[in-house]
Amino acid sequence: MKWIKVGAFLVMVGFLVGVAAWMHPFGVPWASEMDDYFIANAQVEAGANNVVTSVVFDYRGFDTLGEATVLLCAVVGVALVLRRTRR
């Protein structure tokens, strides 16, 4: 039983070291055609001066609406669970 735990620990450490060695370096962006497209066309297509705003509200509007809906449901659920009832 002890050797199984040691083996599992060594496999996990090996996995974590492998993932750390395989990770992309921090601060070095991936080359992306989509980024260049957004930077070049965001103001013309979305009418926003800020590229981040145009991506969040115009290009990914439905995704943002879905995230806001999930957040609202989570807050309402927590409020219902933690509310105090009068007796």
Statement: residue 85 has pLDDT above 90: no
In a domain, residue 61? The reply is yes
In a domain, residue 32? The reply is yes
In a domain, residue 6? The reply is yes
**What range does the domain containing 21 cover?**
2-82
42 close to 55: Cβ distance less than 8 angstroms: yes
In a domain, residue 66? The reply is yes
Structure tokens at 25: 């370096």
In a domain, residue 87? The reply is no
Count structural domains, the chain: 1
What pLDDT, in 10s, does the model give residues 61-77?
888 899 999 999 999 99
- Cβ neighbours around 42 below 10 Å, total: 20
Q: Is the dihedral of CA 47, 51, 54, 55 positive or negative?
A: positive
What pLDDT, in 10s, does the model give residues 33-43?
888 888 888 88
